[in-house]
Structure 1
Amino acid sequence: MISKEQVAADYREIQNEICLALEAADGKSSFEQEVWERDGGGGGLTRVIQDGNILEKGGVNFSAVYGQLPDSVKRALKVEEDEFFATGVSIVMHPNNPWVPIIHMNIRYFEMPSAMPGGKSVRWFGGGIDLTPHYVIEDDARFFHNHLKTVCDAFNNDFYERFKKWADDYFFIKHRNETRGIGGIFYDRLTATDELTWETIFEFSKALGRSFIPIYTEMIARNRNKIFTKENQLWQYQRRSRYVEFNLVYDAGTKFGLETNGRIESILMSLPPTAKWLYNYAPLAGSPEEETLSYLKKGIDWVK
């Protein structure tokens, strides 16, 4: 049986691997790090990179926390017990070049011992990775989704389609009627079944975490040297504003962190350093900006 200590240790290793690779890809800035403790139990390691050649701001956070759940979270999870343990790695990267996309990745594990009648524990894995290009480039989108399908297919042939649809539905800004980006995969409360063991789910979680570097270094290599204008950067700031709206209004991880007394700076590290809300902004007809908006919808098949 996989222990929570093993999950946390492997996640911590993945955090370190990703930070080293991102520093090498950026070539200028290094991660600052801060060890923190949570009132009530546990803590984590926040690692932030800023003002780099490529990465204007990014965070790669690890946490392993435990203690008592607030009543609001217990009601949301529909459980009676309040002792919990949660660990995970969460990443958001905001590049300075508008042609390099924003990326988010999260892998996590949650358990509550004896949370169900008869002393049965509750435990699950969750996670996902999604891409938010300021400008959608079809070849990049197809590379991204095909890479994710390859990772998924190594563990279960149904994972990609199930989790891709889940991502389309989850990363949707309802009040704008648009997706946050081009999606990716997302899953939550994934548990063992007769066909799916805990070991398989854990290995899938780690494989997903380790897919981040080959995916994002390829995105950087393809686009880091592209020239951009002030108009391109203004569009980047406008798209960042949508990212902020989603994370503050809809994101479940943000809500969970705030409601369980998590570290505020670590929770909100996903927000970009600069964003703009231009009143009633509309892109020019036939422009790359208008084309990007046409891709911000559910159900696009990127693996064809």
Structure 2
Amino acid sequence: MITKEEIAAEYQKIQDEICAGLEQLDGKCLFVEEHWHRDGGGGGRTRVIENGNVLEKGGVNFSAVDGLLPETIKNALKVDQNDFFATGVSIVIHPNHPLIPIIHMNIRYFEMPSANGKEPVRWFGGGIDLTPHYVFEDDARFFHQYLKSVCDSFGADFYTRFKKWADDYFFIKHRNETRGVGGIFYDRITATDEHTWDDIFEFSKAVGRSFLPIYTEIVNRNRNSQYTEAQQEWQYQRRSRYAEFNLVYDAGTKFGLETNGRIESILMSLPPQARWIYNYQPQPGSEEEKTLGLLKKGINWA
């Protein structure tokens, strides 16, 4: 059976691969790395890139933390063990170009050893989702078709299940709109008769390694397109929705804060600049109105 050390080591490799690929994609800036240690156990490597040719702000973070779970998290996870181990890679990229989307990816593993006669608790989670400032249907289809091909190689129902999970998870309830065009999301996935722990780990790695080819393709499709000041204003408006979701609903943000994680790493997902315009209404028939009309659950992009 795979060990937590093996999982953490593979996740670090994925972090290295993605950072190298994004530096090449941007062509100007390099990641700045900071090692950090968590009070209570473990730590991580935070890597941030800023003010590039395309990447205005991005973070590719690795963490492997352990210690005692706070009562609030124990109650949320419905477990009564105290010791935990969690490792993962978390990515958010905010481009400087309104026609290039925000992208988020996370792969993670959680473990609680056996205690007081209880069975060990372990699971994988993760996902990848795309948040365009303007929804281009060809890009959304490419994104989902790529994810479907990854999912289909591991389970016939993976894409359908995890796509719906993403639609439901990345939903801004107080706005009644999805954060973007979705993607896949899964949590607490364990071994079954059909899928061993090794199978699930291989799927986790495949999701992680889908990030770079997907985003490279979408960036290169749009990076040379001209845009207007009005389109950049719309970008800042859409970034505010992204911030609202992460601060109000995102489970990873809540887990990091509740377990005394590193604040700068947890909040690196926030955009460098966003705007909240009072009661903004797009012009009828505009590309902005079209985008809002596509921020709905259940669209069959694949």
**TM-score normalised by length of structure 2:** 0.99
Once the two structures are superposed, residues 146-168 of structure 1 have per-residue CA deviations (whole angstroms, 9 ceiling, x without a partner) of 00000000100100000000000
Q: Partners of 1:90 and 1:80 in 2: how far apart? A: 27
Tell me the secondary structure at the aligned position of residue 139 of structure 2. helix
Tell me the secondary structure at the aligned position of residue 125 of structure 1. strand
Where does residue 100 of structure 1 map in the other structure? Answer: 100
Q: Which moved more, 1:77-86 or 1:5-14?
A: 77-86
Q: Partners of 2:194 and 2:9 in 1: how far apart? A: 26
Q: Partners of 2:144 and 2:118 in 1: how far apart? A: 41
Q: Which runs of 5+ in 2 are unaligned?
A: none
Q: Partners of 2:31 and 2:25 in 1: how far apart? A: 12
**Displacement after TM superposition at 1:79 (Å):** 1.1
Tell me the secondary structure at the aligned position of residue 155 of structure 2. coil
Q: Partners of 2:168 and 2:218 in 1: how far apart? A: 24
Where do 1:65-104 residues align within 5 Å?
A: 65-104=65-104
- The AA in structure 1 aligned to 2:182 is G
**Displacement after TM superposition at 1:219 (Å):** 0.7
Q: Partners of 2:298 and 2:37 in 1: how far apart? A: 41
Q: Partners of 1:118 and 1:38 in 2: how far apart? A: 29
- The AA in structure 1 aligned to 2:174 is H
Work out whether 1:59 is the aligned partner of 2:55.
no
Work out whether 1:120 is the aligned partner of 2:112.
no
Where do 1:144-223 residues align within 5 Å?
A: 144-223=143-222
Q: Partners of 1:241 and 1:189 in 2: how far apart? A: 29
Once the two structures are superposed, residues 155-202 of structure 1 have per-residue CA deviations (whole angstroms, 9 ceiling, x without a partner) of 001000000000000000000000000000000000001111000000
Q: Partners of 1:157 and 1:46 in 2: how far apart? A: 35
Where does residue 5 of structure 1 map in the other structure? Answer: 5
Identity %: 75
Q: Which runs of 5+ in 1 are unaligned?
A: none
Where does residue 277 of structure 1 map in the other structure? Answer: 276
Once the two structures are superposed, residues 116-151 of structure 1 have per-residue CA deviations (whole angstroms, 9 ceiling, x without a partner) of x63310000000000000000000000000000000
- The AA in structure 1 aligned to 2:219 is I
- The AA in structure 1 aligned to 2:113 is P
Where does residue 258 of structure 1 map in the other structure? Answer: 257
**Displacement after TM superposition at 1:114 (Å):** 1.1
Once the two structures are superposed, residues 15-60 of structure 1 have per-residue CA deviations (whole angstroms, 9 ceiling, x without a partner) of 0000000000000000001000000000000000000000000000
Tell me the secondary structure at the aligned position of residue 122 of structure 2. strand
Q: Partners of 2:225 and 2:277 in 1: how far apart? A: 25
Tell me the secondary structure at the aligned position of residue 210 of structure 1. helix
Tell me the secondary structure at the aligned position of residue 76 of structure 1. helix
Q: Partners of 2:271 and 2:114 in 1: how far apart? A: 40
Corresponding residue pairs, total: 302
- The AA in structure 1 aligned to 2:70 is P
**Displacement after TM superposition at 1:81 (Å):** 1.2
Tell me the secondary structure at the aligned position of residue 302 of structure 1. coil
**Displacement after TM superposition at 1:296 (Å):** 0.3
- The AA in structure 2 aligned to 1:50 is E
- The AA in structure 1 aligned to 2:214 is I
Q: Partners of 1:265 and 1:245 in 2: how far apart? A: 17
**TM-score normalised by length of structure 1:** 0.99
Q: Partners of 1:151 and 1:195 in 2: how far apart? A: 17
Tell me the secondary structure at the aligned position of residue 46 of structure 1. strand
Where does residue 31 of structure 2 map in the other structure? Answer: 31
- The AA in structure 2 aligned to 1:92 is V
- The AA in structure 1 aligned to 2:81 is E
Tell me the secondary structure at the aligned position of residue 189 of structure 1. strand
Where do 1:43-58 residues align within 5 Å?
A: 43-58=43-58
Where does residue 134 of structure 2 map in the other structure? Answer: 135
Q: Partners of 2:112 and 2:200 in 1: how far apart? A: 18
Where does residue 18 of structure 2 map in the other structure? Answer: 18
- Over 2 Å off, 4+ runs: none
Q: Partners of 2:78 and 2:121 in 1: how far apart? A: 11
Q: Partners of 2:70 and 2:127 in 1: how far apart? A: 25
**Displacement after TM superposition at 1:80 (Å):** 1.1
RMSD: 0.6
Tell me the secondary structure at the aligned position of residue 118 of structure 1. coil
